[in-house]
Amino acid sequence: MSSRYITIEREYGSGGTQIARLLSERTGVPCYGKEILEKVSRDKNIPVETIEKYEEKATNSILYSVYLMSQMSAGNSDMLTGEGHIYIAEQKVIREFAKKGSAIFLGHCASEALTEYDNVIKVFIRCSNEDIKRQMIADTYGIPANEIDVVRRKFDKKRSNYYGINTERKWRDFNEYDIVLDSAAIGIEGCVDILEGLLK
């Protein structure tokens, strides 16, 4: 059965963004990652940089998670924090993009936004080889070798916290995903080959 939507969560330095963009080029299916932030930025008249700071402030505190989920469930948006409002806006934008047709979504808890949609494949991309991961980070982002590990941990923590606070699930719990791909084992092209078959 073909799939209309692929949502991708990924480790920093796994090549997940590159995989998603290449998959989009090959299939002609649009890919939305930074485009989600840009649309929220336009809709809310908030700079993308400010939105990114809100995402970084998300905490994995259990009490905060319970509070945020209870306010959203009650439809009490006025009681949400700035981070909560940004999350709600991102979820709305993801659903707007999904209404246009098949799509690839990068991060932003897209699978949560599409829980009522059929044919959604949830993907996690990791890189099991630390040397390959460091090299990919250096090549992609130009980060000095002595800063790579610090930057990688920062971004993975941000993604994990943001996912956890907004879904009440663990980001690296591979049982949460339909497919887990290791870019170190099968390569960027190999990952794209596998995912391409789901969109044909």
Strand pairing category for 5-10 and 31-32: unpaired
Phi, psi of 69 (to 5 degrees): -65, -40
- Tokens in use for 150? 């610090």
129 CB contacts (<8 Å, ≥6 apart)? 184
- What is the 8-class DSSP label of residue 126? E
C-alpha 4/C-alpha 67 separation (Å) is 33
pLDDT reported for residue 61? 46
Q: What are the boundaries of each domain within the chain?
A: 5-199
Q: What angle do CA 41, 43, 44 make, to 5 degrees?
A: 65
Q: For tokens 């948006």, what's the residue? A: 77
CATH match for 5-199 among 3.20.20.150, 3.40.50.300, 3.40.50.720, 3.10.20.90: 3.40.50.300
Do residues 24 and 30 make contact, with C-beta atoms less than 8 angstroms apart? yes
Do residues 167 and 115 make contact, with C-beta atoms less than 8 angstroms apart? no
E strand or H helix at 47: none
pLDDT by position in tens, the chain (length 200): 456 999 999 999 999 999 999 999 999 999 999 999 999 989 888 888 877 776 666 554 444 444 555 555 555 545 445 566 788 889 999 999 999 999 999 999 999 999 999 899 999 999 999 999 999 999 999 999 999 999 999 999 989 988 888 888 899 999 999 999 999 999 999 999 999 988 87
